[in-house]
Amino acid sequence: MTTPLHETTLASKPSGDVLAIRGGRPLHGRVDVKGAKNLATKAMVATLLGETASTLRDVPDLSDVAVVRSLLEVHGVRVTEGDEPGALIFDPSEVESAHFEEIDAHAGASRIPILFCGPLLHRLGQAFIPDLGGCRIGDRPIDFHLDALRKFGATVEKLPSGIRLSTGGSRLHGANIHLPYPSVGATEQVLLTAVRAEGTTELRNAAIEPEIMDLIAVLQKMGAIISYEPNRVILIEGVEKLRGYDHRSIFDRNEAASWASAALATDGEIFVGGAKQQEMLTFLNVFRKAGGWFDVREDGILFRRDGELKPVIVETDVHPGFMTDWQQPLVVALTQARGRSVVHETVYENRMGFTGALIKMGADIVVHPHGLQDGPRRVARRDLEQAAVITGPTPLHGADIVVPDLRGGYSHVIAALTATGESRVSGVDILSRGYEKFLDKLTALGADFDVIG
């Protein structure tokens, strides 16, 4: 039985934070993926822009969703259950400014609060975003956001406790914005702000991930005028008012890719209900080259091995490239491939830390902190890339490991399931940010584990 959404995440979170996993058993069975975390949370923020209530369908029961829901409620949005499981209704008719203490208490560790800026500035003329911790809200990770908001006419004041923004009593106006990098979050920031700004906004070097396109569809349903031009240009003609929407979220392709890699790593067979081919084309190519077999069906995709695993060379990139969120579970499978694989990470500066645990379990992985290539780049990059060289196959053995982050943590669990012997995996709770009913799904796939902490 599914947990009702109003009970939100606590009920579906792992009951413990530490798992004892006995590996060596292939995962077999079916898991279903719901709406994408990286769309649902943004579409929820968009409800603040409407004058009437919105309905979002296939909302995943995740802790990041719970954080955004709490923040909306703190600002006066009434959230109720919709007419089918997984549907939520958001009524913004009584939105009001919230006290800092309340915002701070509800923000959790999520970065999504930064996206409240534009909608709150339109509704209330001001917004306050708490400091979510140095690494999250330091200058660098949100500089594109703040620069864009200033261009729309907002004043940005940095305080020790967070960031205060104000319109100074005027309506925000359209702007010409060229992002230094096609950032997903900054593109969303611009979209959520430009739709109700006065005049036209031209956004260049925009992110064009499928979740962004789905957010554009949501905003169009609300009455926005947004056109997608060639070469990463998005034009937004601001309107005075928007209404609520009724929308079914795009599926979570990151979760789908994670389970596909789990089938590959454990030599199992997993049907991922709700997965679709179109949004996963790049992943499926790499999956096939690595020795994976898949069958695209009406209601999902079946994944398993096609004989021996093969090494691949992969570079993470913005869409339509290979997503940064796909590499960590794939690396586990590549430890079982015959030969040398290379995974270049070019999107985030520190996304290879999870390989330490795999090495402890017997994997042969060498991380090059400054990348490997000296030649010209296909796309101009910031100086942050890293590369992991994985040589296989290496048998993995059980170990005591600590989950570092969402995708790295998933890869640790899959490594423990691939390994012989018992592993103790701590910090599993963090997986509830991005994997709905994670432990139930592992159980359904025949994983052998106990919750011990």
Q: Which residues are part of the catalytic machinery?
A: 135
Q: Does 185 sit near ligand EPU (CB under 6 A)?
A: yes
Q: How far is the CB of 202 from ligand EPU (least distance, A)?
A: 19
Which of 257, 219, 256 is closest to 236 using CA atoms? 219
Q: Does 140 sit near ligand EPU (CB under 6 A)?
A: yes
Q: How far is the CB of 83 from ligand EPU (least distance, A)?
A: 27
184, 250, 265, 270: residue in contact with ligand EPU (rule CB under 6 A) = 184
Query: Which one, 184 or 439, has the nearer CB to ligand EPU?
Result: 184
Asked if residue 354 lies in contact with residue 328, where contact means CB atoms within 8 angstroms, the answer is: yes
Convert 188-220 to b/e letters by CB count within 10 Å (16 or more is b): bbbbbbbbbbeeebbbebbbbbbbbbbbbbbbe
8-47 positions binding ligand EPU, by CB under 6 A: 37-38
Query: Which one, 111 or 304, has the nearer CB to ligand EPU?
Result: 111
Q: How far is the CB of 432 from ligand EPU (least distance, A)?
A: 12
Contact window for ligand EPU (CB under 6 A) among 8-16, 85-93, 142-150, 388-396:
142-150
Which stretches does DSSP call E strand in 356-433? 364-368, 386-392, 400-402, 422-426
Which stretches does DSSP call E strand in 306-447? 313-315, 339-345, 364-368, 386-392, 400-402, 422-426
For ligand EPU (CB under 6 A), the number of binding residues is: 25
60, 294, 434, 439: residue in contact with ligand EPU (rule CB under 6 A) = 434
Contact window for ligand EPU (CB under 6 A) among 234-242, 272-280, 323-331, 388-396:
323-331
Q: Does 143 sit near ligand EPU (CB under 6 A)?
A: yes
Q: Does 355 sit near ligand EPU (CB under 6 A)?
A: no
- Which residues touch 182 (CB under 8 Å, ≥6 apart)? 205, 206, 207, 208, 232, 318
Asked if residue 5 lies in contact with residue 59, where contact means CB atoms within 8 angstroms, the answer is: yes
Q: How far is the CB of 67 from ligand EPU (least distance, A)?
A: 11
Task: Say how far apart CA 10 and CA 18 lie, in whole Å.
Answer: 16
Residue nearest to ligand EPU (CB): 185
Task: Say how far apart CA 206 and CA 187 lie, in whole Å.
Answer: 6
DSSP β-bridge partners for residue 449: 21
Q: Does 406 sit near ligand EPU (CB under 6 A)?
A: yes
125, 181, 237, 359: residue in contact with ligand EPU (rule CB under 6 A) = 181
Task: Say how far apart CA 354 and CA 351 lie, in whole Å.
Answer: 7
Q: Fill in the amino acid letter for 213.
A: M
Q: Does 154 sit near ligand EPU (CB under 6 A)?
A: no
Relative to beta strand 225-229, strand 176-178 is unpaired
Q: How far is the CB of 129 from ligand EPU (least distance, A)?
A: 13
Binding mask 90-129 for ligand EPU (x = CB under 6 A): ---------------------xx-----------------
Token pair in block for residue 328:
């960590």
144, 259, 303, 322: residue in contact with ligand EPU (rule CB under 6 A) = 144
Q: Does 178 sit near ligand EPU (CB under 6 A)?
A: no
Q: Does 63 sit near ligand EPU (CB under 6 A)?
A: no
Secondary structure letter of residue 240 according to DSSP: S
Task: Say how far apart CA 303 and CA 356 lie, in whole Å.
Answer: 27
How many Cβ atoms from other residues are within 10 Å of residue 178's Cβ? 12
Contact window for ligand EPU (CB under 6 A) among 99-107, 177-185, 337-345, 408-416:
177-185
Relative to beta strand 313-315, strand 339-345 is parallel
Q: Does 432 sit near ligand EPU (CB under 6 A)?
A: no
Q: Does 141 sit near ligand EPU (CB under 6 A)?
A: yes
Q: How far is the CB of 447 from ligand EPU (least distance, A)?
A: 21
- Which residues touch 1 (CB under 8 Å, ≥6 apart)? none
For ligand EPU, the binding residues (CB under 6 A) are 37-38, 111-112, 140-145, 181, 183-186, 207, 254, 323-325, 347-348, 406-407, 434
